[in-house]
Amino acid sequence: MSKDYPRIVTSPPGPKAKAIVERDRSVTANCYLKEYPLVVARGQGAMIEDVDGNRYLDFMAGIAVASTGHSHPKVVAAIQDAATKFLHICGGDFYYEAFAALPEKLARIAPGKEPKKVFLTNSGTEAVEGALKLARHSTRRSAFIAFEGSFHGRTYGSLSLTNSKVTQRAGFGPFLPEVYHAPYGDADYIEQRLFPRRLDPRDVAAIVVEPIQGEGGYIVPPKGFLSKLRAICDENGIVLIVDEVQSGIGRTGKMFACQHESVVPDIVVVAKGLASGMPLGAFIARADLMKWKPGAHGSTFGGNPVCCAAALATLDLVEKEYMKNARAMGEILIAKTRELQSKTKTISDVRGRGLMVAIELTDPALVKRVVVGAFKKGVLLLGAGKTAIRFAPPLVIDEEDIDIALSTIGDLLSD
């Protein structure tokens, strides 16, 4: 093995990590999940080092965020250069070049040839909220259709759509009215059951869908599902919002996952991997939908100049190099994971596109055991859904990284 990771020098959490974990527990909100006691000191590429000197292979990229790896030199340089000039002026009220350059770039790479306009936010959930507001404003309709198993965020509008875990919703009602959930992957349900019995399509502002479900378990829908949703929207004057927060920015081997079906959304929502870890999101809409007037929507920090610089550097790297690598490494990852599946009875399914891949385990209890066990051996993983483990590594990984991760998982499943 040529990598200098994984390398466990003291059983995690080590003494320095334990001290920071205790400080954290005494003052931070107890709603944070804290999957396992990883206390990060630094990162480089696909490697994370903790405060006790342990090194890990990061196979979850901060939940699909570190698209160009940790602290990519070109991204860091762009951040440093921007930070020396000015940190904030509010792009909603004033002008600076990066606030024009990034929307130009996003409008160019977004699916479809129609003119686009872009609103910049701080996060994915804010971008979803803005997309919902725009859909209602442009259609003058009130209802939304989302899907069982979906995750769109935790603020009230996006949480009203979210349907992946009861923990995310328990105790927070009432939610946004007129939100209807359909089975994911079943477009016929909308036309054959929802419209005839419960919901007039003329009242629907938007259908909101993940092209591959994220928190719901990395579920890839049946071929034709997104195309059928597009047709339903076209027939009924409904806005199609595609939530690419986790699947976008090259992760699936294309810039956006909906492009695997050549589907063009009316609004596409991005965040996570957009700025390699800097807080930034966006919703990109057909220009003719942006009918609202100045002041109808806004953000103090959205499109911060330092974040915009990070995003421009990220998109350049993804376009030129890492999207292609995600496609190539994704094929290898899926092939080798299916090979592992053939050797164990505990993996019931392998699914995904590019570097958005999941294994389904036969026993829900195995998920936590494998995730925590892998952490102790130096590989960072996360679960998804009830019985899946997601693979969402930085788009910079190579075949050796894949072999390390799968060997570790294989050993744990054998044990």
Does the structure show a pLDDT above 90 at 178? yes
Nearest-CA neighbor of 274 among 302, 299, 296? Answer: 302
Mean pLDDT value of segment 14-28 = 97
Arithmetic mean of pLDDT over the chain: 97
Does the structure show a pLDDT above 70 at 16? yes
Give the pLDDT confidence of 329-363 residue by residue, as tens digits: 999 999 999 999 999 999 999 999 999 999 999 99
Q: State what percent of residues in the chain have pLDDT above 90.
A: 99
Write down the residue that tokens 């949703």 correspond to. Answer: 229
Does the structure show a pLDDT above 70 at 284? yes
Give the pLDDT confidence of 105-131 residue by residue, as tens digits: 999 999 999 999 999 999 999 999 999
Q: What is the identity of the amino acid at 402?
A: I
Does the structure show a pLDDT above 70 at 1? no
Residue 276 DSSP code:
B
Work out the pLDDT band at 157, boundaries 50, 70, 90: very high
Q: What residues have CB less than 8 Å from 293, skipping those under 6 apart?
A: none
Mean pLDDT value of segment 17-25 = 97
User: What is residue 2's predicted lDDT score, i.e. its pLDDT?
Assistant: 81
Nearest-CA neighbor of 217 among 180, 186, 185? Answer: 185
Q: Report in angstroms the alpha-carbon separations of 381 from 211, 261, 376.
A: 22, 29, 11
**Domains of the chain by start residue, with CATH:** 15-71+321-414 (3.90.1150.10), 75-317 (3.40.640.10)
User: What is residue 415's predicted lDDT score, i.e. its pLDDT?
Assistant: 78
Q: Supply 40's token pair.
A: 């990060």
Does the structure show a pLDDT above 60 at 257? yes
Mean pLDDT value of segment 92-97 = 96
Give dist(CA 175, CA 158) in Å, integer.
Answer: 10
User: What is residue 357's predicted lDDT score, i.e. its pLDDT?
Assistant: 98
User: What is residue 162's predicted lDDT score, i.e. its pLDDT?
Assistant: 97
Q: Are 107 and 115 in contact (CB under 8 A)?
A: yes
Q: Are 60 and 370 in contact (CB under 8 A)?
A: no
Task: Cite the active site residues.
Answer: 151, 243, 272
Q: Supply 163's token pair.
A: 């349907």
Angle, CA 124 vertex, CA 387 and CA 113 arms, to 5°: 110
Give dist(CA 45, CA 25) in Å, integer.
Answer: 29
Residue 343 CB neighbour total at 10 angstroms: 10
Give dist(CA 409, CA 415) in Å, integer.
Answer: 10
